Amino acid sequence: MKTGIITTDTYLNHDTGQGHPERADRVSVVIENLKKNKKLIWKKPLKFDTKYLKIAHESDYIDEVENSFPKKGLHFLDGDTIVSPGSRQASTDAVASIITAIDSVQNKEFKNVFCPVRPPGHHAEKDKAMGFCIYNNVAVGAHYLIDKYKFNKIAIIDFDVHHGNGTQNIFYDNEKVLYISTHQYPFYPGTGANNEKGKHDNILNIPLPAGTNSEEYLNAYEHVLKKLKEFKPEFLLFSAGFDAHQDDPLAQFKLSSKDFYDITKRTLKVINKSINNKVVSILEGGYDLNALKESSEYHLKALIEN
Ligand SMILES: [Zn+2]
């Protein structure tokens, strides 16, 4: 079986305004680069039952979002989360991509899947848009695995340099989901201290200082691997943000592109048996185009080798 890439071109119409770091070029460079790899199979997201959106988010919030898309121009959901007319389809397709990815792994169409999509999702809480995120794509995916496929142990690994406050918020008291985040701290969005552990010890936050380099990061990552081993997940979701790269303009970690290969490889090595190779990864942040292109290629290299 091959690795699948699930995405569509509607992300191009999610306009965040001039000079915004979360821009369409981010996904375009990743897609153009991955197209050179003949080992990958491409697929578009299929329509999904929106009831799954309502498991992760409050219905009032979904109504608020659906009513926020302007007929023209831009609308601010928060200080830096902006929507345009094309954002309706783009945000729906980002969620549809992870749902289609999960179905494709479950149907054995692909061995694993990466979704290069936008808007990202991990800052979106049950009832709040934040940090460029509208719907929490990975959280909808985890709820879909539980509701549709009856999984009882889902692990979400979030190596984006920012804490995924939204994913933590959605699963804080859900013992079926282990959420692990490594992130710069103190930093945006302010959450992610190591005493935020979830109601069932199902949250593991690994806050690291600005300036964290590859060696320091990979040493700290051993705690992620240990927790994963103990949890023995049945399915793994990556919240794959590449803004911990040394060239990223929004944060101050010093990872190299190849570190994303090591992170992915080490993770898969410790839990391949328990997850039976079931992995879906979805793009979160990453704001230097070249770093994003190279780092996502290294992440895919490990997924392809698996
Ligand atoms: Zn980020």
Q: How far apart, in Å, are the Cα atoms of 256 and each of 29, 209, 291, 296?
A: 18, 17, 8, 12
Q: Which of 266, 165, 179 is nearest to 214 (CA)?
A: 266
Which 3 state secondary structure label does DSSP give 71? coil
Distance 235 CA to ligand 1 centre (A): 23
Amino acid at position 284, single letter: E
The predicted pLDDT at position 226 comes to 98
Distance 244 CA to ligand 1 centre (A): 8
CATH number of the domain to which 159 belongs? 3.40.800.20
Residues 57, 95 contacting (CB under 8 angstroms): no
For 12-21, letters b (16+ CB in 10 Å) and e give eebbbeeeeb
Distance 306 CA to ligand 1 centre (A): 26
Spans of the chain, pLDDT less than 50? none
Residues 265, 218 contacting (CB under 8 angstroms): no
Q: Which of 250, 261, 255 is nearest to 120 (CA)?
A: 250
- The first and second tokens of residue 198, run together, are 């979830």
Instruction: Report the alpha-carbon distance of residue 296 to residue 278 in Å, rounded.
Output: 19
Predicted confidence (pLDDT) per residue in 228-242, tens digit: 999 999 999 999 999
Domain limits for position 202: 3-305
Distance 73 CA to ligand 1 centre (A): 26
The predicted pLDDT at position 54 comes to 97
Distance 281 CA to ligand 1 centre (A): 15
- What is the largest distance, in Å, between two alpha-carbon atoms of the chain? 50
Q: Which residues are catalytic?
A: 123
Does the pTM surpass 0.95? The reply is yes
Instruction: Report the alpha-carbon distance of residue 104 to residue 99 in Å, rounded.
Output: 9
Predicted confidence (pLDDT) per residue in 130-161, tens digit: 999 999 999 999 999 999 999 999 999 999 99
The predicted pLDDT at position 243 comes to 98
Total domains present in the chain:
1
Amino acid at position 35, single letter: K
E strands in the chain: 3-6, 41-43, 75-78, 81-83, 112-115, 154-158, 177-184, 203-208, 235-240, 279-283
Amino acid at position 210, single letter: A
